[in-house]
Structure formats: structure tokens, C-alpha cells
Chain A
Amino acid sequence: MRMLLGLARPTAGRAEVLGTDVLSARRRIGYLAGDFELYDQLTGADVLQYFARLRGDVGQDRIAALAERLEADLRRPVRELSTGNRQKLGLIQAFMGEPELLILDEPIAGLDPLVQHRFHDLLDEVRAAGRTVLLSSHTLSEVDRVADRVAVLRAGRLAVVDTLEHLREIAVRRWEIEFDGDSPDPERFRRLPGVIEVDRNGAHLTVAFEGEADPVVKAAAEYPVRELRVRDDDLEQVFLRLYADGDG
């Protein structure tokens, strides 16, 4: 992220943002650093005023509107603000220029749930306006909530770039099938394409598989099925698996 803003230089290769070099792209980017400080002795309003002047094209009304939505107090000096209230100033300065691209590093850190909700509304508006948000987070529920496409970084390398929808599709599915009477021979299911694991427990058979569900459905249909419960992996397990795969 720092490289995309020209704060760090690539040791090899080059970075482009919005089809241009990183330094000229900055005018079109709003950035929230993951870990930042502001001028302690200035008020929130003064800090935002300074950033607005550096950017050159931000109206006061825009700042005021964002401050109201995020419930930011702009009159107090920064040194008196809590982490969450400083974070609000960081968010306002990132959003206020209505940039084509928002780069947000851990944006909800320190925000209370209500403000998080307002922040997500803001994100939705930005997305609806056709603008792009590049958001970094360690909180998977946050990723699950806001992301369309995800990139997973593992030890500084891109492990995967994919849509969240597709990642959910490739998640291992786990079906618990309850049969009327004793469950059938697990071997019958183990031989099916895509099946990873089969556990038998009395009338219950748990089948874990990837990809097409059809073979499992057809095989189960040969026996009297009483109930079928679907236990898909959640996103966290998908990611854990992605990380584990990289270790091999």
C-alpha cells in the first residue's frame, strides 16, 4: 500500500495506479494509513483544513457533512482525542476529496459499532458511484462484509486474488446426511469425485467435498435419506486453508 502512494520505493519493478505512475495518481487517491498521528496541538478542523489545502479541491461543506455523519468533533485539539476519534479524522481526510480510489488500511480500528455502520454506508455509496476501494483488514468478518474481490498476502507474497463469491464456491462443503437405518458403506462415497473425507457415526454420514455436489446427491439418493444438513466452511477456514496450502 505504501508503495502505491510512493511512500516506499520498489526494490525491483514498478507500480502503476489508475493507469499512471504512483506520484501523479495521488491526486486521485484518498489514503488512510494503518498507523498514523496528526498534529497534536491543532484542532480536528485545522488538521483537515491543512489536508484540504494540500489537496486543493475540497469544499468545507464536504468536510462538515462527513464530520456530521461520523460524529467527529472537529473543535477539540487532536491531543485530547481518543483513538477512535482520531481515526474519524483519518477517515474524513481520506473521503473528503471524493477520490477515484480509496486506499484504507485497517479503517475500522477503534471505531464504535455505530460509527462502523456509518462507515460501511459511506463505503456502499462510494461503491455505488463506481469508485474503487482497496481495503486492508485482518478482521475477516469485515472482509466478508465489504469485499467483492480479495487478495491474500502471505509472507509478503500474493497467495491468491479472487472474488469472494468464487472463494465461497471453492470452500470445502460438509454435508451431514442422516439415513433411515444404518448408514451405507463410507467407501461408496470415498470413491466419488471431489470427496475429501467421509465419517460414519451410526445413521449419520459426514461427507466433505469440493466442487460439484451432484455425485454426492446421486449416491445418497440410492439410500433412504431422513435428513440433510449443510455445514459449509466459513471464510476463515478458506483463508486458513490457503495459508496452510502455501506451507506445503
Chain B
Amino acid sequence: MTRAALGLELRLRARSVALAGIGLMTVAAITGALFPAFGESLGKVELPEGVGELLGGGDFATIAGWLDTEIASVYGPLVVAGSAIAAAAATLAGEEERRILALVLAHPVSRTRLLLAKAAGIALEVAALGIACWLGLLLSVALAGGGIGPGRLAALAVHLAFLALAFGALALALGGVTGRRAVAAGGAAAVAVAMYLVNGLAPVTADWLQYLSLFHYYAGHEPLRNGVDPGHLAVLGAVTAVLLGVAAAGFRGRDLRG
């Protein structure tokens, strides 16, 4: 019965995931194609400390630096984590606010299992976007004239997907506890922006602050240069699991709104 909920979740979201994936691949490919013209002439841009960090390093001389700046720092998280947050807010709190869940939950399906089916749907959507991102990066590097192997590109896509899962779980937790879509989407997006700033500005404020930001575990290890960091992925995975637990506890224990 929860397979039905998962199937529906994927079906409702297929279109927007496909569009986001195509967008991601297109932008990545164009970025790669532009590297020979722009990257080498710009070289390493000297930006004030902090600004460079916020923008992903400001190093345009290498393909890794170029992609870090153009894709990995802002655009990738915006699309993938943004999609996860939007989907999580719509599927739980959104359906509750629209009074769809009252009919769904009158059927013999437990709230926890429904929540997990929806979470699994979001995870598959994020995985699809991660693969789209990887394909886009492969194309991008090929158009740029090579320089990064498929493994390193996959490492970035995996880190990005784990980051998106954690923010999606945050939106589920906020939606599960409050039943309000605006709180789920807005709250998770606000936390993401705050964490992005904390991570970028930590070098000029206090280094330890970066450990509070999920972006540190996404990009701190520089996956395009160093590959996957299992420890950082474990942190993102653990945060996701805890937030899912919060979502389930919050959703199970209260009256349905509407």
C-alpha cells in the first residue's frame, strides 16, 4: 500500500524533476563550453577575503575552479536542494493544508509509512537530479577540453545529493511538526541561506562556525579535487535521518489540520 503512495509521489513530481534535470544539464554544458573563452582569460580573480569564499573560490584558471564557482557553489544547490525542499513541503504540509491527506489517511495506511513513502519519493527525485547533474558535468568537462575525471564529477554530484536530502528532510520535519507548507518551505530555505552564509563567511569570522553549516559537509572537502569524503557524507546522512525521525514524531502525534 505504501508502494502506491511512492508511485503517486513520483508521478506527481516527474514533470518538475525532468525540467529541473534538463535545466541543470543545459546550464552545466553551457558553462563548460564557455570555459575555454572565459576561464583562461580571467585567470584567478583576486577578490576580497570572504567574497571569494562565498562565490566558490573565484579561481577561473582551472576547470575545477571554474565549475566550483559557476555550478557547485550556488546554482547546483539552488536547483537540487531547492527542488527537494519544494517537493517535501508540497507533499506533506501542502497536501495536509489542501485537505487531501484527510481522505488519504482515512484509508488503512499509517502516518509513519505514508511519510516514509513520501521521503523515499523525494530521495529518488534527488537521486535523479544528482545523476542529471553528473551527466551535465561530464558534458561540461568534455566541452571544456577535459581536466576532471568522471569519478570526481560523481563525487560532487553525490555530495550535492546528500546536501539536498538533508534540506528536504528539514522541510519534511517542519511540515510534519507544523502542518504548514509556508513554514516547511520558507523555514528550510531560510536555514539553507543562513548556512550558506555562515559557511562562506566562517574563514573571516570564526573558523569553527563552518562546522554548524551543512554546506561545509557538502563542499568543504572540495569533491571536484579530492573525491568523496565518507565522513562528511555520514554527517549529512545522519542529519537527514534525525530530521526524518523528527518529521515522523511530529506528524504522528498531532491532529491533522484542515
Contacts and interface: CB of A to CB of B under 8 A. Distances in A.
Contact of A54 (B5, B98, B253): B5
Interface string A32-55: 010111110110000000110111
Interface residues of B, number: 23
Contact of B106 (A9, A31, A41, A53): A31
Nearest to A11: B255
A44 to B, nearest CB: 14
B194 interface: no
B34 interface: no
Contacts, number: 66
B206 interface: no
Interface string B239-258: 00000000000000111101
Interface string A50-83: 1101111000000000000000000000000000
Contact of B1 (A8, A9, A31, A54): A54
Contacts of A26: 106-108
Given A8-B255, A53-B4, A39 B12 contact: yes
A227 B250 CA distance: 70
Interface string B118-135: 000000000000000000
Interface string B1-44: 10111001000100000000000000000000000000000000
A93 B106 CA distance: 11
A33 B96 CA distance: 13
Contacts of B110: 23
Given A38-B100, A41-B12, A5 B108 contact: no
Interface string A1-24: 010011111000000000000010
B177 to A, nearest CB: 15
A93 B107 CA distance: 10
B102 A7 contact: yes
Contacts of B12: 39, 41-42
Interface of B: 1, 3-5, 8, 12, 98-100, 102-110, 253-256, 258
User: Nearest 4 A-B pairs (CB), nearest first?
Assistant: A53-B4, A31-B106, A54-B107, A8-B255
5 contacts: A38-B100, A38-B103, A54-B104, A55-B1, A56-B1
